[in-house]
A and B are shown apart, each in its own frame.
Chain A
Amino acid sequence: MAEFKHKDIIALRDLSKEEIELLISTAENMREVNSRDIKKVPTLRGKTIINLFYEASTRTRTSFEIAGKRLSADTVNITPSSSSATKGETLADTALNLLAMKPDIIVMRHAVSGSHYFLSKKVSCSIINAGDGAHEHPSQGLLDMLTMKDRFGRLDGLKVAIVGDITHSRVARSDIQGLTKMGSSVYLAGPPTMMPPGAERLGNVTVCGSMKEAIQDADVVMMLRIQQERQGKTLMPNTREYSRYFGLNPQNIKLAKPGALVMHPGPINRGVEMSSFVVDGDQSHILKQVENGVAVRMAMLYHVCGGEMAE
């Protein structure tokens, strides 16, 4: 079995194929804990985890918190409204103050790409990236891969379509990094205003001229959230037109392989990037993604702590 030697998990770009496989396989084992009646193991007993969320998050923060608690760690949540960020304290100072309280892991979400690398140079504890700007969201990438692996038993050779605002998506970047390493092919589609330059060079990536081309015969269709506040001004006319060309609906889903997985990192804008029919349909694995999220985050917490079972 491969060893996991990183202190931090900041980007799937920094991990090898073997390390990604190890995290996924540990997550598979962690699921057993989550299915127990008493969903708790003593693995990280006595460890302190700080969830430092500079950006709003319900799903990811809750998922990390539950993951920590199921491993018996003490978890503390700090969000901008209750932190010193509003008082003008720098990120480095906040982190050093938190570090003085001897946490073992800081799980951070931050709006600025790369801020975890900055933080990592300042603090000695482990850093886990819960999303940084438009850079990466490694736990999402891992849970997406775990969800695909559940369905197909493999990642190698899968055709994965990712549709939406690629430019601003950290989910897309982590998926591309992870999936490319695992042997999948990624097909991107979105309005040209939301396709970043050189996207085809990010990995085993094909940039498609239309959504149809991307989802044709796909094993997985990953839809990204369209953020009205971000894209609204200049990147598209409105959500109505967006959904006509880049929304997943009962008609165009038929272009994908029969039984193709439909995924979304959430939160969903029903009727914009996906019609409710598809969100709630048989092919939708969106809630499965959320379920796998807890297991994946347990695996991440476990491995940055050295990967030793207290049991």
Chain B
Amino acid sequence: MNLMIKGGRVIDPSQGIDDILDILVDGGRIKEIGKGLAAPSGAEIVDAAGMYVVPGLVDIHVHFRDPGQEYKEDIVSGTTSAVAGGFTTVCCMPNTNPVIDGKAVATYIISKARAEGLCNVFPIGTITQGMQGERMSEMGELKEAGCVAVSDDGKPVKNPELMRRALQYAAGIGIMVVSHSEELELVGEGVMNEGFTSTELGLKGIPRIAEEIAIAREALLSEYTGAPIHICHVSSKGSVRIIRDAKARGVKITCETAPHYFSLTDDAVRGYNTNAKMNPPLREADDVAAIKEGLKDGTIDCIATDHAPHHLDEKDVEFNEAMNGIVGLETALPLSLKLVDEGVLTLQQLVEKMSCKPSALLGLDCGTLKPGSPADITVIDPKKQWTVTEETLNSKSKNSPWLGEVMTGAPACTVVAGKVVFSGR
């Protein structure tokens, strides 16, 4: 089956392409890219005039809750949400039940995704057995089973000696360690960012230093061992500074931020809005500015959603009782496109951070439109307006702080392995 994507603005930083071009797909792979290509007879044609055509978006940080909490999300609903957001590849975090700390769960996820999922799904295994923070997990077996990184996301590895050894060991195997960086003693019983808003609302605050101290430790451990490390969901000004400084020293540190950290401040919590409750918490205007600056100057390598579905019953409760996290796969693209409108990022940089870089970081075979590579392609309608509602979100869960808001920009077509899996809102 052939597919032709005609006349779109093709932006592929991996080849330095930004031009009005056609893309021909054959047998699930990119066959040709060029001007005025002739469509083979019988080819499915996608008219991409006025659209951006980019390598399929890659999200290296999602929670699909499968196995164990399928009432929040599962691999089918999660990948449906992913492709509706323009993502063709996602990496799912191991805090499932059971956790992904061995071959069995990793294999389950990969085979279920192949059979029923709409996009590529790669599991991330745990750093420690059972995510208990006591002994390293069998990273070799995890890698062989198809895990593309290890992380105890949701929980920091508290013991610095264990983290040091995990970094060394993982580097030997060739698997990236992804750190959820948080000093739990400083978080205490905090439920939102510590600042004027928490003072006014009378909610217990989480200071920025809870994140920053932990990131500083990870940077030093990476520097000392020479092993690479990737930092999850950077949210604060100080974190950006620490990572920037470490990079300048040549430390093999990379990081991601999530759209909510450059789109919202802790003002969103006012009214005790549990859909604005996540970890790390929304910070303040200074932090948002620093996150944007970090994206612009390359300190922040990629944008990942931290897609964290929760059932209404877990969010429609008193603020302290509410679970942390928001769904993000379907709002990430329009929120990130805003950065282009604001002049924070060029379109090329945006595609790098949402496709090329995350793919390269974890050694995935995607993030490019080079002939011969898998035909994972996102066609973006930058002008499409749509409203975020419980009905328009494809995730099983509806915990978004943007419910009721109008978004500009959405995929017009998402192609995974040469197959159209989503064709617009």
Which residues of A are at the interface with B, using a C-beta cutoff of 8 A?
90-92, 110-115, 117-118, 132-136, 167, 170, 173, 196-199, 201-202
Stretch at the interface among B257-265, B315-323, B359-367, B389-397: B315-323
Q: Are A135 and B201 in contact (CB under 8 A)?
A: yes
Contact of B205 among A112, A197, A201 (CB under 8 A): A197
Residues on the B chain within 8 Å of A201, using CB: 196, 199
CB distance from B199 to the nearest CB of A (A): 4
CB distance from A258 to the nearest CB of B (A): 34
- Given A133-B203, A135-B201, A135-B202, residue A117 in contact with residue B272 (CB < 8 A): yes
Q: Is B250 an interface residue (CB 8 A)?
A: no
Complex Cα distance A198/B199, Å?
Answer: 7
Q: Are A198 and B195 in contact (CB under 8 A)?
A: yes
- Given A114-B272, A117-B272, residue A134 in contact with residue B203 (CB < 8 A): yes
**Pairs A–B under 8 Å by Cβ, sample size 15:** A91-B317, A112-B321, A114-B318, A114-B319, A115-B318, A118-B272, A134-B202, A134-B204, A135-B201, A135-B202, A167-B199, A197-B196, A197-B199, A198-B199, A201-B199
| Contacting residues of chain B (189-213) with chain A, CB-CB under 8 angstroms | 194-196, 198-205
| CB-nearest residue of chain A to B203 | A113
Q: Is B271 an interface residue (CB 8 A)?
A: yes
Complex Cα distance A170/B199, Å?
Answer: 10
Complex Cα distance A199/B195, Å?
Answer: 9
| CB-nearest residue of chain A to B192 | A113
- Given A117-B272, A118-B272, A136-B202, residue A112 in contact with residue B196 (CB < 8 A): no
Complex Cα distance A134/B100, Å?
Answer: 39
Residues on the B chain within 8 Å of A136, using CB: 202
Residues on the B chain within 8 Å of A111, using CB: 320
Q: Are A173 and B202 in contact (CB under 8 A)?
A: yes
Q: Given contact pairs A112-B318, A199-B199, enumerate 6 new A-B contacts (beta carbons under 8 Å).
A: A110-B318, A112-B319, A113-B320, A115-B318, A173-B200, A201-B199
- Given A113-B272, A133-B203, residue A91 in contact with residue B318 (CB < 8 A): yes
| Contacting residues of chain B (166-206) with chain A, CB-CB under 8 angstroms | 194-196, 198-205
CB distance from A52 to the nearest CB of B (A): 13
Could you give, for residues 200-234 of chain B, a 1 whenever the CB lies within 8 Å of some chain A CB and a 0 otherwise? 11111100000000000000000000000000000
Q: Which 10 A-B pairs have the closest CB atoms?
A: A198-B196, A135-B202, A114-B272, A134-B202, A196-B199, A113-B202, A112-B318, A115-B318, A112-B320, A198-B199
Interface size class of B (residues with CB under 8 A): 10 to 19
Q: Are A202 and B318 in contact (CB under 8 A)?
A: no
Residues on the B chain within 8 Å of A117, using CB: 271-272
Complex Cα distance A238/B202, Å?
Answer: 24
Complex Cα distance A196/B207, Å?
Answer: 12
| Contacting residues of chain B (48-94) with chain A, CB-CB under 8 angstroms | none
Residues on the B chain within 8 Å of A134, using CB: 202-204
Complex Cα distance A202/B197, Å?
Answer: 10
Residues on the B chain within 8 Å of A135, using CB: 201-203
Residues on the A chain within 8 Å of B202, using CB: 113-114, 132-136, 170, 173
Complex Cα distance A167/B207, Å?
Answer: 14
Which residues of B are at the interface with A, using a C-beta cutoff of 8 A?
194-196, 198-205, 271-272, 316-321
Complex Cα distance A96/B198, Å?
Answer: 29
- Given A197-B196, A202-B199, residue A113 in contact with residue B317 (CB < 8 A): no
Complex Cα distance A305/B403, Å?
Answer: 34
CB distance from B69 to the nearest CB of A (A): 19
CB distance from B201 to the nearest CB of A (A): 6
Complex Cα distance A112/B272, Å?
Answer: 10
Complex Cα distance A32/B85, Å?
Answer: 66
Complex Cα distance A155/B329, Å?
Answer: 53
- Given A196-B199, A197-B195, A198-B195, residue A118 in contact with residue B318 (CB < 8 A): yes
Most chain A CB neighbours (cut-off 10 Å) among B200, B318, B321: B318
Residues on the B chain within 8 Å of A202, using CB: 199-200
Residues on the B chain within 8 Å of A114, using CB: 201-203, 272, 318-319
| CB-nearest residue of chain A to B274 | A118
Residues on the B chain within 8 Å of A167, using CB: 199
CB distance from A189 to the nearest CB of B (A): 16
Residues on the A chain within 8 Å of B196, using CB: 197-198, 201
Complex Cα distance A117/B317, Å?
Answer: 11
Residues on the A chain within 8 Å of B203, using CB: 113-114, 133-135
Residues on the A chain within 8 Å of B271, using CB: 117
| CB-nearest residue of chain A to B271 | A117
| CB-nearest residue of chain A to B204 | A134
Most chain A CB neighbours (cut-off 10 Å) among B205, B271, B272: B272
Q: Are A115 and B199 in contact (CB under 8 A)?
A: no
| CB-nearest residue of chain A to B316 | A92
CB distance from A105 to the nearest CB of B (A): 20
| CB-nearest residue of chain B to A54 | B318
| CB-nearest residue of chain A to B196 | A198
Residues on the A chain within 8 Å of B272, using CB: 113-115, 117-118
Residues on the B chain within 8 Å of A90, using CB: 317
CB distance from A229 to the nearest CB of B (A): 13
Complex Cα distance A150/B317, Å?
Answer: 41
| CB-nearest residue of chain B to A135 | B202
Q: Are A196 and B320 in contact (CB under 8 A)?
A: no
Complex Cα distance A130/B203, Å?
Answer: 17
Most chain B CB neighbours (cut-off 10 Å) among A92, A110, A196, A202: A196
| CB-nearest residue of chain A to B320 | A112
Q: Are A118 and B317 in contact (CB under 8 A)?
A: yes
Q: Are A113 and B199 in contact (CB under 8 A)?
A: no
Complex Cα distance A111/B319, Å?
Answer: 11
Complex Cα distance A198/B272, Å?
Answer: 19
Complex Cα distance A118/B202, Å?
Answer: 15
| CB-nearest residue of chain A to B270 | A114
CB distance from A3 to the nearest CB of B (A): 25
| CB-nearest residue of chain B to A118 | B318
CB distance from A129 to the nearest CB of B (A): 11
CB distance from B163 to the nearest CB of A (A): 25
CB distance from B336 to the nearest CB of A (A): 31
CB distance from A235 to the nearest CB of B (A): 11
CB distance from A133 to the nearest CB of B (A): 5
Residues on the B chain within 8 Å of A133, using CB: 202-203, 320
Residues on the A chain within 8 Å of B318, using CB: 91, 110, 112, 114-115, 118
Q: Are A115 and B319 in contact (CB under 8 A)?
A: yes
CB distance from B416 to the nearest CB of A (A): 40
Complex Cα distance A167/B205, Å?
Answer: 10
CB distance from B26 to the nearest CB of A (A): 55
CB distance from A68 to the nearest CB of B (A): 25
Residues on the A chain within 8 Å of B317, using CB: 90-92, 118
Q: Are A196 and B198 in contact (CB under 8 A)?
A: yes
